[in-house]
Amino acid sequence: MTNGVKAFYLHGHGDNPLILRTPTDMDALVDALVEQTWENRVAALYHLDHPVNALGLPDHELEIAVDPDTRTGALRYMGAWQGQGGTWYSQGNSGKTGTVLHFFMGSDNEWPADSEIPLGTVRAAVKEFLTTAGQRPTNVTWQPHWTMVHDSYPYAEC
């Protein structure tokens, strides 16, 4: 049994994040995001069992974004994977290019247009994140951050 995942998607969550402990809780989170207005359809997740950095802060983050109109979502994972730190986005099969905007905590954020994946895949990924103590989900094809916006990014961590 895990301690769970802290989730933030509403402004009030800064002082009182949701604590999600079961796969059913993770499904409920995705369902809640689908029902939100555009400015609250992204959630940041931090696993309570995952190590913290020297400052006592999470050394990882999984963001999920949803689009109820297309019944898709997207993922962004920041942290270590196979010994390297970085930022990765889900890789979808839409064939879209460019970027899409997701609004999180008062800021527009560009995500790759081809990061959209089915909501069922998003659900499976957040459940895996819960059960693996915050590891990057393996049911998703990932693309590094620097391929997202510009071909000329000199490094993956921006």
51-65 burial, b for 16+ CB within 10 Å, e for fewer? eeeeeeebbbbbbbb
> Cα separations (Å) of 23 from 90, 91, 101?
20, 23, 28
* pLDDT tens readout for residues 13-39: 888 899 999 999 999 999 999 999 888
| Residue listed under structure tokens 């609250």 | 40
| pTM given for the model | 0.85
Q: Are 99 and 149 in contact (CB under 8 A)?
A: yes
Per-residue model confidence (pLDDT) at position 96: 66
Domain boundaries, the chain: 5-147
Per-residue model confidence (pLDDT) at position 154: 36
| Rounded distance between C-alpha atoms, residue 77 and residue 145, angstroms | 9
